[in-house]
Amino acid sequence: MSRKTALLLLPGLAFLAIGFLVPAVAMLVAPPGAETAAVFTRFGEMLVDPYELRIIGRTVALGLIVTALCVGLGFPIAYLLARSTSRWGGVLLALAIFPLLLSNVVRTFGWLVLLGANGAIGKLLTSTGLADEAPQLLYTPLAIVLGLTQLFLPLAIISCYSAVAQIDPGLDDAARGLGAGRTRTFWTVVVPLALPGIVVAATLVFAGSVTAYTTPYLLGGSGQRMLATQLFSYASVSVGWAAASATALIMTILVFLISGLSSLAGRKGATT
């Protein structure tokens, strides 16, 4: 490596080390005022503690539901957009990407108005006589699922769109010409060819859902704790460094696990 190249690279690397790598590692081995092994001891305790397990379980379960919903709704959108010849296609694609630019806080507030005690959905149910009194919608798992689906649907659409757009529409026509119906063509030609994109979408959505903070904080409240809100409460309210670091470790392991599984699936898909 020439001296010039090193000079271009080193400031960035140094910054990365101070602003990210060293603190991240130090958090695991040396939380202030705690022993080195404290984080790992606490980590082991959490994995057998029913209260912590319920939070981990809720985080994973809601993450899986949101992933299924985002792929289930996002893939049809991506498919229709990629195959659309209408001039509205571009507008609808922009409308699907635009939320990515918009603050998560702004996007999530809408659900407070929709699901809250004086919210639109409760009003609708009572005024049409479907319910005698407005049901509790806010601070439920349903609210979190809706909020996270709204948040991550654009990511799923984009990943699936890139995959579908690469499939030659001629293949659809060929399958149809050989006698396959529309549904059969979709499931035996389009979906298998777009599978790498679907895997990427699922990975991004799951990793995002199990680490999201704003949504469970605003829509889940203290009754529906997830790993992210639990981590914050350990780190801020009660000064439990070891517990906070251990929760961070669980969250990171979850994300690494899903990324590892997804790249394994990608590699397997490439060889078969």
Partner 1 sequence: MRRPVAATLAVLGYLIMIVPILFVVATAFSAGRTLRFPPEGFSLQWFEAAVTYDPFMESLVSSLYLAIGATALALLLGVPATIAIHRGKIPGRGLVEGLFLSPLIVPELVVGLALYQQLMIGFGLDNLTTLLLGHTALLLPYAVRVTGASLALADPAVEEAARGLGASPVRAFLTVTLPLLRPGIFSAALLGLVTSFNNVPLSLLLQDREFRTLPVTMLDYVQQSYNPRIAAMATIILAATVVIAVIAERTVGFAKIFGGINR
108 with 219: CB under 8 angstroms?
yes
Nearer to partner 1 among residue 64 and residue 134 (C-beta): 134
d(CA 270, CA 272): 6
* Of residues 50 and 164, the one with the C-beta less far from partner 1: 164
* Closer Cβ to partner 1, 44 or 76, answer by number: 76
State the minimum distance, in angstroms, from the CB of residue 211 to partner 1: 4
Nearer to partner 1 among residue 5 and residue 271 (C-beta): 5
Q: In the chain, how long is the greatest CA-to-CA distance?
A: 76
Closest approach of partner 1 to the CB of residue 182, in Å: 7
> Residue 120 CB, nearest distance to partner 1 (Å)?
4
Q: Say if CB 251 and CB 231 are below 8 A apart.
A: yes
Instruction: Give me the least distance between CB of 45 and partner 1, in Å please.
Output: 19
**Complex with partner 1: residue 123 or 184, whichever CB lies closer:** 123
In angstroms, give the least distance from the CB of 101 to partner 1.
5
Q: At its nearest, how many Å lie between partner 1 and the CB of residue 176? A: 12
- What tokens appear for 109 in the block? 């507030």
- Which residues make Cβ contacts (< 8 Å) with residue 143, sequence separation at least 6? 111, 115, 137, 219, 220
Instruction: Give yes or no for a contact between 63 and 145, defined as CB atoms under 8 angstroms apart.
Output: no
Own/partner long-range contacts of 110-119 (Cβ < 8 Å, ≥24 apart) = 110/150, 111/138, 111/143, 111/146, 111/147, 111/150, 111/218, 111/219, 112/138, 112/218, 112/219, 115/143, 115/146, 115/219
Q: Which is nearer to partner 1, 5 or 272 (CB)?
A: 5
